[in-house]
A and B are shown apart, each in its own frame.
Chain A
Amino acid sequence: EDQVTQSPEALRLQEGESSSLNCSYTVSGLRGLFWYRQDPGKGPEFLFTLYSAGEEKEKERLKATLTKKESFLHITAPKPEDSATYLCAVQPYTSGTYKYIFGTGTRLKVLA
């Protein structure tokens, strides 16, 4: 069964304290892996798409990496405005459908 697991569930960091969020996945084949940011009361907002193992994408203080089993979202020198829930999703190769499977997210709190 296709599955996505994110860890940790919640993370508190001091401003400037770098860390990584994990997204482990089990799929028969991977079309793509996506990272989203979700602020309270809002819909998820797209951050990155990764397609193949070894691929990396960067945006400001965020960097996403992908292996054959997991993806990491590295946050370098975070600021309080980086506080949000970070969601990982995969789109598996499944005949007849392009569905997305989301993890339950990591709630990040960055303290000033």
Chain B
Amino acid sequence: DAGVIQSPRHEVTEMGQEVTLRCKPISGHDYLFWYRQTMMRGLELLIYFNNNVPIDDSGMPEDRFSAKMPNASFSTLKIQPSEPRDSAVYFCASSYSLQAETQYFGPGTRLLVL
């Protein structure tokens, strides 16, 4: 398996622009997680899905952030409008079990908002 795939790997945009991050989970994994990582706050869970349905979005910082999972093999995280404080590395991860289980992380998208 190719592992979790994220695109783009790097994104530079200007404040106010819309940003869309993409993720393809590992085939057969029922859970998909979006995280944000910064030096100050570490790795923070934004939202996770189970069988394409959002389960916990309590970590989404504000209404500018939205996430969708239209099918089992694709998810997007959208920021509109983007702000400089959104600059971070965004990771997608997937797992296959309902129990406490390992997650497999993608390589991340490094976002810089100018």
Contacts and interface: CB of A to CB of B under 8 A. Distances in A.
Interface in A91-112: 91, 96-105
B103 A99 contact: no
Contacts of A91: 100
Interface in B33-68: 33, 35, 41-45, 48, 55-56, 58-59
A31 B99 contact: yes
Given A100-B33, A102-B42, A102-B43, A46 B48 contact: no
Q: Which of under 10, 10 to 19, 20 to 34, or 35 or more describes the interface residues of B? A: 20 to 34
B99 A87 contact: no
A7 to B, nearest CB: 13
Contact of A104 (B41, B56, B100): B41
Given A43-B108, A97-B56, A102 B103 contact: no
Q: Which of under 10, 10 to 19, 20 to 34, or 35 or more describes the interface residues of A? A: 20 to 34
A101 B93 CA distance: 14
Nearest to B102: A46
A46 B44 contact: no
- The 10 A-B pairs of least Cβ separation, nearest first, read A32-B100, A43-B105, A104-B42, A31-B100, A102-B43, A97-B56, A46-B102, A91-B100, A44-B105, A43-B91
